[in-house]
Structure formats: C-alpha cells, structure tokens
Amino acid sequence: MPGGLDSGPAIVEGATALAAILTDGREPRVRPEPRTWSPLEYGCHVRDVLLVQRERVLAARRVDCPSFDPMGRDERVEHDGYDQQEPGDGARQLTDAAGLFANVMARLGPLDWERTAIYGYPERRERSLRWVAVHTEHEVRHHLLDVRYNRG
C-alpha cells in the first residue's frame, strides 16, 4: 500500500531491529563520537518520536488542523537522561511505542489519512496524516541506519 498506508508494520519492524541492537550484548551507551548519539540515545529518541507522533495523530483526529509544538528532540537527551536508562527497558519501551503508533495508524479510515495539522518540520506548514506516517517511517529507518553505520 503506497503513501503511508503500510507504514505501521514497517515502523514496528524497524523499531524491533533497533531494540535488538540495544540488547545485543554490546555496550549501547557508548557514543562513537562526542557529538553523535549512542545506540541507547537513538533508541530513546525513536521511542519518544513514536509516542509524540501517536499523540499528534490522535489530536488531528479530534481537532481540525491542530498546531504542534516541536518535541524538543535535543533537549530530551539530557532532560530524560537517555544515556542513563536501562537498555532492556529502553528496548521494551521502543517496541511498545512502535506498537502503539501502528495501532493508531491501522485505525485510520480513508478520509482520516487526509486530515491535516500544522507541523513544524522541516518547515512550518500544513501536513496530512499520510505525510506524518511516511515521515515517521523515514525517521525510524533513518535512525536504525545511523546506529548500524556507527557501530560498524
């Protein structure tokens, strides 16, 4: 199914692969470079992206064209102590968040996919829930690739 309709299963698959890296026996808290997130930090970020996006989709179903504030992705690393979280907990939370997001997406009807919200990335503009699904899938895949690349 093109255009976001099949994003839920792809997101669950990508999140599951990233969660497996967090518990593969290698230390997931180590940053490959000082300014590059560790696998655990990436995993916590993706978890939070999925939870925030889920709430945004639910809001867009309740309210006509809501406006979303930025999630504060960089601030969350410190504010939530990503590097101090237990890898097993982070992995479980990541897969749970993916399942929660996929569940909400699976419940969208044909007209729901065209509902819109004001979304701030990459620039502030009106976006459809179809776009949100595609963008979220891209984020999961992109960060999984980042972690795999940085681990060598």
Confirm whether 2 is domain-assigned: no
pLDDT value, residue 1: 39
Confirm whether 20 is domain-assigned: yes
The mean pLDDT value for 93-102 works out to: 99
pLDDT value, residue 146: 98
Confirm whether 145 is domain-assigned: yes
The mean pLDDT value for 21-38 works out to: 97
58 is in which domain, residue-wise? 7-151
Confirm whether 103 is domain-assigned: yes
Looking at the structure of the chain, the number of domains it has is: 1
d(CA 40, CA 63): 34
The per-residue pLDDT for range 108-138, each reduced to its tens digit, is 999 999 999 999 888 999 999 999 999 999 9
At 64, which CATH number? 1.20.120.450
pLDDT for residue 43 is more than 90: yes
The per-residue pLDDT for range 51-89, each reduced to its tens digit, is 999 999 999 999 999 999 999 999 999 999 999 999 999
The mean pLDDT value for 22-49 works out to: 98
d(CA 131, CA 128): 5
Confirm whether 141 is domain-assigned: yes
Average pLDDT, the chain: 96
pLDDT value, residue 4: 73
The mean pLDDT value for 3-16 works out to: 91
Distance of CA 60 to the CA centre of its chain: 17
The mean pLDDT value for 143-149 works out to: 98
Split at pLDDT 50, 70, 90, the class of 3 is low
Confirm whether 1 is domain-assigned: no
Q: How many CA within 13 A on the CB side of residue 138? A: 8
d(CA 18, CA 48): 14
